[in-house]
Amino acid sequence: MIENYHRWNSLYLNRDFEMLTFGERGLPIIIFPTSGGRYYEAKDREIVNSVADLIDDGKIILFCPDSVNNESWYNYSAEPKYRVLRHIEYEKCILNDVIEFAKHKTGFKKVGLAGCSFGAYHAANMTFKHPDKVSHLLTMGGGFDIKQFIFGYYDENCYYNNPLDYLPNLTDDWYLSRIKKINISIRTGDKDFCLPENERLSSILKSKNVDHEFEVRQNTGHDWHWWLNMFRNYILEITKL
């Protein structure tokens, strides 16, 4: 399996940014780290190995960018209004550095986004805000409500980065028509403490007539050994379509 390390100075973050990629061709899948995770988390947690055969067969390329969660939502030493601004800078880095690089490298016009736990938040939020750039969305045990981090503070930037708030009010057909074209899978477990947020997201999508898969696995909690199976199964499904 071909592995490459990338490091560059991101103008959007005003610092160096790191990423691992796995594979040389195929559908580009960007997987976001969890809350305190780094760009090597997907490798260390065996997410990459779970689909090694599909990477070697040229079905997919995995892009594993770093996070800035500890500078944004989890940076409790900063005021909430500055945390969300740092998140917006991260989003610009992903959009302009990572997604554009993935499209250029693979020749695909759109990318797939995936994530576990808080990584699922990044994948979902990016998808719903920029549906013209995304072909597939997979969330696993996702936590989607950022209000837990900002302790009552709420401004326009917070609203537009909290999908459980802005999606119910979304009526713009430019967004909805494109979201409806995305292959969306929301996967979680009956014992996952994030289950209620997954149920809310699925309910909102249903109310907007957005076709999607919502899978609640029995006897399944919030941890990597369940997510490995969810991830491999989904990649197998979409590469056979």
CATH classification of the domain holding 61: 3.40.50.1820
112 and 136 in contact (C-beta within 8 Å)? yes
Residues of the chain with pLDDT under 70: 241
What was the pLDDT predicted at 241? 63
pTM over 0.85: yes
- Each residue's pLDDT tens digit, 28-83: 999 999 999 999 999 999 999 999 999 999 999 999 999 999 999 999 999 999 99
What pLDDT score does 92 carry?
A: 98
What total of structural domains would you count in the chain?
Answer: 1
Task: List the strands of the sheet with 3-10, edge to edge.
Answer: 3-10, 15-22, 60-65, 27-32, 111-116, 134-140, 183-189, 213-217
Running DSSP on this structure, what letter comes out for residue 222?
Answer: S
**Spatial separation of the C-alpha atoms in residues 232 and 241, rounded to whole Å:** 15
- Note down the domain range covering 32: 3-239
Residue 86 · residue 70 · CB < 8 Å: no
